[in-house]
Amino acid sequence: MDILQTATATMEAPRIRHILSVDVEDYFQVEAFVNEIPRRTWGDWPSRVVENTRKFLNLFERHGVKGTFFFLGWVANRFPSLVREVQAHGHELACHSYWHRRVCSLSPSEFREDVRISKDAIEQAAGVPVHGYRAPSWSINKNSLWALDILAEEGFRYDSSIYPIRHDLYGIPDAPRFACVYHCRNGGELTEIPPPTVRIAGFNFPAAGGGYFRIFPFLFTEWVFQIFEQRYRKPVVTYFHPWEVDPEQPRIPAGLKSSFRHYTNIGIVETRLSLLLQKYLFQPIATALATGKLDSAEMGRTPNTILLDMVSAKSCPPVAHAVFPAVHGERTKG
């Protein structure tokens, strides 16, 4: 009887609109190649970000969906017409830093400067305010939570930078797994919108975005969407990158793990994403917040489990790249 009642309630409940987001950066600007391509040489590499971003615009147009585009300030500064083109298609503009440097490697003053120039580059290109931020490589961790205070001070309304998993490059495994309000030390508030995770055997596993979308079987992604729709009743926060739909991009010599993470299955992302867009409903983050579709009532009651006493200005130590996340001390072999 309980099973039948749950099934009936699920069928009668309104369909969930998931979150569609794109981190607009070029293939040579990713963390995987930071040792091979210094930032001072970015201008020497042939850019492919415009044509690749247009692939997303065309795909979204065919399916009648809108999303949030987190622009790298460097890209917005070099290609302001691309920013305007994304806006003209009705998508939300948000910030992905300027130089794609990990937040936990910066001082608070360096982070504030990076945020200001990247936000300004996007706003100058499009003529609209930017309210959302996503850190490169999910790099707001327990040692860099001070960044949330700075984001609130700089006029941001939401952040999507904290991955509630254990990983050698990023993550706060005990952070809230769904959208919640972060109460800053300076009295401000910031809505934190984490990427999706599912609980398996008591651990958080990442899903439905970036390398996890490419490398994990598509059946796993579909299972994740079913879990979010039927059990969690919350939206999946998907995320993609323009270079992930570009199998013809120049190949950069790098270590085996970095190459595996970057190049695996980049030729099938468009097909997989098209299947998702056919089956599920999507919307930008700003729309979800404005319409209260990120569980705003529950967010007001959710305690802030990211303790303020974890905040410090220390930079995170250098770490090695990994193919898959290390969950609770267990590193993936290979």
Residue 120 structure tokens: 């300004």
What's the pTM? 0.86
Please state the rounded mean pLDDT for residues 226-248: 96
- How many residues in total does the chain contain? 334
Pick from 306, 14, 312: nearest CA to 180: 306
Cα(14)–Cα(204) distance, rounded to whole angstroms? 27
- Measured in degrees and rounded to the nearest 5, phi and psi for residue 184 equal -75, 160
Decide: 240 and 213 in contact? Cβ < 8 Å: yes
Collapse the DSSP code of 22 into the 3-class scheme (helix H, G, I; strand E, B; otherwise coil) and give the result: strand
- Measured in degrees and rounded to the nearest 5, phi and psi for residue 135 equal -75, 145
Cα(81)–Cα(50) distance, rounded to whole angstroms? 9
Decide: 134 and 161 in contact? Cβ < 8 Å: yes
Pick from 52, 54, 56, 68: nearest CA to 243: 52
Please state the rounded mean pLDDT for residues 154-176: 91
Decide: 304 and 180 in contact? Cβ < 8 Å: yes
In this predicted structure, the answer to whether residue 86 has a pLDDT above a threshold of 90 is yes
Segment 104-139, tens digit of pLDDT: 999 999 999 999 999 999 999 999 999 999 999 999
In this predicted structure, the answer to whether residue 294 has a pLDDT above a threshold of 90 is no
For the chain, the average pLDDT equals: 86
Pick from 109, 160, 163, 113: nearest CA to 132: 160
Residue 258 is predicted with a pLDDT of 87
18: left (phi over 0), alpha (psi -120 to 50) or beta: beta
In this predicted structure, the answer to whether residue 306 has a pLDDT above a threshold of 50 is no
* Least confidently predicted of 132-146, 211-225, 294-308: 294-308
- Measured in degrees and rounded to the nearest 5, phi and psi for residue 78 equal -80, -35
Please state the rounded mean pLDDT for residues 87-102: 98
Segment 182-220, tens digit of pLDDT: 998 888 899 999 999 999 998 999 999 999 999 999 999
Collapse the DSSP code of 142 into the 3-class scheme (helix H, G, I; strand E, B; otherwise coil) and give the result: coil
